[in-house]
Structure 1
Amino acid sequence: MNTVRTVLGDVPPGELGVCDAHDHLFFGSPLLPGQELRDASAARAELAAFREWGGRSVVQWTPYGLGRRAADLPLLSRATGVHVVAATGLHQAAHYAPELPAELRGRPAEMFVNELTEGIGASGVRAGIIKVAGGFHGLDAHARWTMTAAAEAHRATGAPIAVHLELGTAGLDVLDLLCGELDVPPHRVILGHLNRSPDFVVHRQAAEAGAYLAFDGPSRANHATDWRMPDALRALADAGFGDRLLLGGDTTTAGARSVNGGPGLPYLLRRVRPRLELALGSELVERILIENPGRAFAVEWRRD
């Protein structure tokens, strides 16, 4: 039976409800000094605000070493009634200063598998996805190394692989590596940030390959592509790929939280959803927010 692995245990995909398919409750990186998401009370307020707008689940793409605070996630999920999915995996090398911890320079796949099946550190919270990252229009040695480990962990557990695409680029390179060389089934790969590079041809090629396409991080000051997202989603839906689409908010800084005056988690449902309903119709948007995440994140888990 396929289930989604949340921080409170495995649930049927139909229980996810309206899902923010890519966001962060906790996150910290040397690339974003002073903007760390560390405040548990702020995270709880953000989740509560998301639920008030109809949100029922959030997938946190924060991987190893970037302040996941896994032990806090079950407490927040219980307190707010919002399902939370945690991540294992590794981000780009630049997020780990000055370098990766020594214990990860050997076989990161073993760590990924352990966090998916046994739990993240002493928290006992099991991850539900593997997060990795590409580079700008290409894959460096670190990206190939982490994706190779992710593919190994996928084969051992069945877990889906969620990929940060730098400014929305290199999605086809990711699929060539993961699905071509490393034999990961395309429907187990989620390509993130495609809204940041509104290349409709690449979007369609990625969808034709069988991957899930996440449009996440709308209304960010360093992106000028929000207005293209409805057209991109419509083009994919018209081509028959409405079942491949996901939406997320990708809140990565304290200033972006709604409790601090930013868009935050609620923005996806408060502003993005009605805007997309005008362009796509409410039926398709409901499928993107509810049905598609259930398929993308639910697997028949191995090595339980």
Structure 2
Amino acid sequence: MTGERTGAAAGPHAETGPPGYGPAVRTVEGDLPGAELGVCDAHDHLFLRSPRLPGQELADPDAAEQQLRAFAEHGGRSLVQWTPHGLGRHSGALADLARRTGVRLVAATGLHQAQHYTGELPSDPAALFVQELTRGMRGGVCGEAPRAGLIKVAGDFHGLGRHARWTMAAAAEAHRATGAPIAVHLELGTGAAEVLDFLCGQQEVPPSGVLLGHLGRCPDPRMQRAAAASGAWLVFDGPSRTHHATDWRLFDSLAELLERGHGDRVLMGGDTVTATARAETGVPYVARTLRPRVADELGAAAARQIFEVNPRRAFAVHWKD
């Protein structure tokens, strides 16, 4: 892997600006200091629609509001939705939900794997990403067009195909233009080395600007340690999928990373992508069950690091608007 970490503040988060200027998280209500995120679900979905998941759509604003209110009742204060362009992210509804529930929401631009789309893809994805990060997201409802706060792209199983390289190159271009973090779906948790080599090596994105999703689905401790050592963020997500075969390895992975000194690179989220997952546990699971369990098994300091300190560092950047 490229880009060995030289310190916790390496990358765009260490840049300085004019006096009084600092990194900010771009929420659907505007830019905020990272400290205002509080307890954060670093990867989830309130809205999602894909031809790969027929009958499992998340499209009801009332249901999303109930999820957020339950999340807040258990101490949750912010949520990052990784639903990218074209997959029913309901961008305008997000701003209304944030106001109604008091939960800080961060939305995504970007593109998923080609199999999740049925129509034509944007001819200039980098321009689309920059527009949605700086001016407002397309496809908003309720007459609003809030700005996205990160770029979501996806790799392939144990590698990067043509579509993945195309979208990641566009994401890197948009990152250079805006400073936005890049969140990467790793298919079944694989391909972290290939993603980092492409984004950080070839495209020169600082590792601290990259969030690697689904690390727990490939519970390879060497791979996880190498990803953490690179300086990228490791996002353990999907624990709401109670049937997932790798769930039982989650705390083994977390404990080893903490013991090896990589606790400052770990984030956690629910990744609720289907109606079935929402009915089983849903968004509240992260604050209701997962965070208390981390505190019980790994300590209160680890829980605060993973759910509060790390998110405000991962999602707060010096925007180049």
Q: TM-score higher than 0.5 here?
A: yes
Consecutive unaligned residues of structure 2, counting only runs of 5 or more, are 1-21
Q: Which amino acid aligns with 2:137?
A: I
CA shift at 1:100, angstroms? 3.0
Q: Which residue of 2 aligns with 1:267?
A: 285
Return the alpha-carbon distance in structure 1 between the equivalents of residues 97 and 150 of structure 2. Answer: 19
Q: Which residue of 1 aligns with 2:136?
A: 119
Q: 1:7 aligns with which of 20, 24, 28?
A: 28
CA shift at 1:246, angstroms? 0.1
- Asked whether the 8 Å contact 2:268–2:306 carries over to 1, the reply is yes
- Structure 1 pair 140/222, CA: closer, same or farther in 2 (3 Å)? farther
Q: Which amino acid aligns with 1:47?
A: L
Q: 1:197 aligns with which of 191, 196, 218?
A: 218
Q: Give the TM-score of the pair, scaled to structure 1.
A: 0.95
Q: State how 1:143-222 maps to structure 2 within 5 Å.
A: 143-222=164-243
Q: 1:100 aligns with which of 114, 117, 120?
A: 120
Q: Which residue of 1 aligns with 2:310?
A: 292
CA shift at 1:220, angstroms? 1.3
Q: 1:79 aligns with which of 69, 80, 100?
A: 100
CA shift at 1:157, angstroms? 0.1
Return the alpha-carbon distance in structure 1 between the equivalents of residues 243 and 130 of structure 2. Answer: 35
Consecutive unaligned residues of structure 1, counting only runs of 5 or more, are none
Residues 197-228 of structure 1, C-alpha deviations (whole Å, 9 max, x = no match) = 10010000001111000000014155211121
Return the alpha-carbon distance in structure 1 between the equivalents of residues 113 and 176 of structure 2. Answer: 22
- Asked whether the 8 Å contact 2:25–2:34 carries over to 1, the reply is yes
Q: 2:160 aligns with which of 126, 131, 139?
A: 139
1:110 and 2:127 are equivalent in the alignment = yes
Return the alpha-carbon distance in structure 2 between the equivalents of residues 58 and 283 of structure 1. Answer: 21
- Asked whether the 8 Å contact 2:41–2:307 carries over to 1, the reply is yes
- Structure 1 pair 66/212, CA: closer, same or farther in 2 (3 Å)? same
Q: Which amino acid aligns with 1:117?
A: T
Q: 1:233 aligns with which of 254, 258, 277?
A: 254
- Asked whether the 8 Å contact 1:219–1:226 carries over to 2, the reply is no
Residues 84-128 of structure 1, C-alpha deviations (whole Å, 9 max, x = no match) = 00000000000002x433xx1x22100000000000126321000
Return the alpha-carbon distance in structure 1 between the equivalents of residues 80 and 160 of structure 2. Answer: 24
Q: Give the TM-score of the pair, scaled to structure 2.
A: 0.90
Q: Which amino acid aligns with 2:120?
A: L
Return the alpha-carbon distance in structure 2 between the equivalents of residues 296 and 171 of structure 1. Answer: 18
Return the alpha-carbon distance in structure 2 between the equivalents of residues 33 and 159 of structure 1. Answer: 31
- Asked whether the 8 Å contact 1:192–1:215 carries over to 2, the reply is yes
The number of residue pairs the alignment matches comes to 296
Q: Which amino acid aligns with 2:255?
A: R
Q: Which residue of 1 aligns with 2:266?
A: 245
Q: State how 1:27-46 maps to structure 2 within 5 Å.
A: 27-46=48-67
Return the alpha-carbon distance in structure 2 between the equivalents of residues 223 and 255 of structure 1. Answer: 13
- Structure 1 pair 222/100, CA: closer, same or farther in 2 (3 Å)? farther
Return the alpha-carbon distance in structure 1 between the equivalents of residues 301 and 66 of structure 2. Answer: 29
Return the alpha-carbon distance in structure 2 between the equivalents of residues 274 and 79 of structure 1. Answer: 26
CA shift at 1:269, angstroms? 2.0
Q: Which residue of 2 aligns with 1:65?
A: 86
Q: Which residue of 2 aligns with 1:278?
A: 296
Q: Which amino acid aligns with 1:227?
A: W
Return the alpha-carbon distance in structure 2 between the equivalents of residues 234 and 254 of structure 1. Answer: 31
Q: Which amino acid aligns with 1:52?
A: E
Q: Identity over the aligned pairs, expressed in percent?
A: 61
